[in-house]
């Protein structure tokens, strides 16, 4: 269908197309403004409270890593073919327990030869001793010369030295024979075998297997210099600081650790101090290599200004704030909080005083500054909320 309009009619249409949206937007803006003004006039029901003072122990947090107190690489101390192992990988082993056997045949032969040499030199020494005894008796009767006595004494001493050397060689042979039986140096848990049976091993072959102690264990961590000084002032050189560790699932280990090492300097690159705590690990829940959250608690208590986490808005990136009430109206109060949480309350570093009134319930009713508020008791607010539901 074709519509024929005059030039004036087209002008009117074009004008309407331009004017109508403008009028509509202005009308909509006026309506929105009216609604906002009406909303501003209606008081919002809230519950208010003051920030609280809580006394808590001085504490600090860090990230730590579990380490075995002893972690020992077992190596061969003599050369030979590895005949057999006497454990399963991952076993718990006792100190002195047999782990590997190196072929002992040549070392047993060395012991036998050394023992034979001892017997030979012992016989020579005994004969030389008897010769010297006879010579000592004969010289008193002038039956032999003094030089003959000296010669017999020298022969006796020479054979005694040879006997001593043979005894040392026998002891060395016995030690080398004992090294063919490779035993665990500590109580602990054994790891994965690096060199299997049938291989020729020597002291330069490297680790055959690793054995790590399981209890106690260390947790090492780095503490920021500010936290370090704070805890140092609140304790007796860390002797009475309690150390707690948290697993990845959020649960806390049920044993408390003690500081057993504090480095003698602050690292210039990280601005932190290397520290270490000892933990009982009888149940073996702490596994070397695992990373854990570490919390240190000193005996000295300090006072902190706190607000409930539930009444704060924002985040660590944009900043936190609470809604306060002044002269019957809502006021935004920007705050700085600590990373520490006390009984589900933020520790407030800046932005509030004890006299400030902050909204602790009905926060969802406040959307902007300057809104009128009606303060209710917690009981009354709870009743109204239950009726509304």
Q: How far is it, in rounded angstroms, from Cα 138 to Cα 133?
A: 9
- Percent of the chain predicted with pLDDT > 90: 61
Res 65: pLDDT: 97
- Percent of the chain predicted with pLDDT > 70: 89
Q: What is the mean pLDDT of residues 26-46?
A: 66
Q: What angle (nearest 5°) sits at the alpha carbon of residue 148, between those of residues 142 and 154? A: 140
Q: How far is it, in rounded angstroms, from Cα 57 to Cα 342?
A: 10
Q: How far is it, in rounded angstroms, from Cα 65 to Cα 219?
A: 5
| 101: enclosing H helix or E strand | strand 98-102
Cβ contacts of 138 within 8 Å, gap of 6 or more? 144
Cβ contacts of 267 within 8 Å, gap of 6 or more? 222, 273, 274
Sign of the torsion formed by the C-alpha atoms of 255, 261, 265 and 270: negative
By the 8 A CB rule, do 166 and 115 touch? Answer: no
Sign of the torsion formed by the C-alpha atoms of 141, 147, 149 and 150: positive
pLDDT digits (tens, 9 = 90+) for 11-32: 665 666 677 666 566 656 666 6
374-378: list long-range contacts, CB under 8 Å, 24+ apart: 374/43, 374/44, 374/45, 374/46, 375/46, 375/47, 375/48, 375/325, 376/45, 376/46, 376/47, 377/47, 378/47
pTM recorded for the entire structure: 0.65
Reported as a pLDDT band with limits 50, 70 and 90, residue 2 is low
Res 8: pLDDT: 64
Res 170: pLDDT: 96
Res 365: pLDDT: 85
Q: What is the mean pLDDT of residues 96-125?
A: 96
Q: What is the mean pLDDT of residues 152-164?
A: 91
Q: How far is it, in rounded angstroms, from Cα 150 to Cα 135?
A: 9
Least confident of 4-18, 116-130, 135-149, 259-273: 4-18
209 has pLDDT over 80: yes
- Phi/psi for 199 (5° steps) reads -85, 150
The per-residue b/e assignment along 186-201, b for 16 or more CB within 10 angstroms, e otherwise, is bbbbbbebebeeeeeb
By the 8 A CB rule, do 219 and 292 touch? Answer: yes
Res 339: pLDDT: 74
245 has pLDDT over 90: yes
């Amino acid at each position: 269908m074709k519509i024929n309009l005059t030039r004036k009619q087209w002008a009117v249409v074009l004008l309407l197309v331009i004017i109508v949206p403008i009028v509509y937007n202005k009308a909509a803006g006026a309506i929105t403004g009216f609604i906002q003004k009406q909303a501003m006039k209606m008081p919002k029901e809230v519950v208010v409270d003051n920030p609280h003072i809580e006394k808590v122990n001085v504490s600090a947090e860090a990230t730590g890593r579990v380490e075995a107190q002893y972690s020992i690489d077992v190596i061969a101390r003599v050369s030979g073919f590895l005949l057999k192992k006497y454990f399963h990988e991952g076993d718990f082993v006792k100190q002195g327990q047999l782990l590997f056997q190196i072929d002992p045949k040549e070392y047993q032969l060395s012991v036998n030869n050394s023992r034979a040499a001892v017997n030979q030199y012992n016989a020579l020494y005994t004969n030389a001793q008897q010769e010297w005894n006879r010579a000592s008796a004969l010289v008193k009767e002038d039956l032999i010369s003094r030089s003959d006595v000296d010669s017999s004494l020298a022969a006796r001493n020479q054979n005694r030295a040879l006997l001593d050397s043979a005894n040392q060689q026998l002891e060395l042979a016995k030690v080398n024979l004992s090294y063919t039986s490779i035993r665990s140096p500590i109580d602990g848990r054994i790891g994965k075998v690096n060199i299997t049976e049938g291989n020729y091993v020597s002291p330069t072959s490297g680790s055959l297997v690793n054995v790590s102690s399981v209890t106690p264990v260390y947790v090492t961590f780095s503490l920021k210099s500010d936290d370090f000084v704070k805890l140092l002032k609140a304790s007796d050189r860390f002797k009475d600081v309690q150390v707690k560790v948290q697993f990845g699932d959020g649960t806390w280990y049920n044993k408390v650790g003690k500081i057993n090492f504090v480095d003698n300097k602050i690292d210039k690159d990280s601005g932190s101090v290397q520290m270490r705590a000892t933990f009982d690990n009888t149940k073996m829940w702490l596994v070397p290599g695992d990373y854990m959250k570490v919390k240190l608690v000193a005996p000295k208590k300090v006072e902190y200004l706190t607000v409930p986490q539930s009444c704060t808005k924002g985040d660590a990136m944009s900043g936190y704030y609470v809604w306060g009430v002044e002269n019957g109206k809502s006021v935004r109060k920007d705050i700085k909080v600590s990373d520490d949480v006390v009984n589900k309350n933020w520790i407030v570093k800046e932005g509030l005083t004890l006299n400030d009134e902050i909204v602790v319930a009905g926060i969802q009713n406040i959307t902007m500054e300057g809104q009128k508020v009606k303060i209710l008791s917690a009981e009354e607010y709870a009743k109204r909320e239950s009726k509304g539901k």
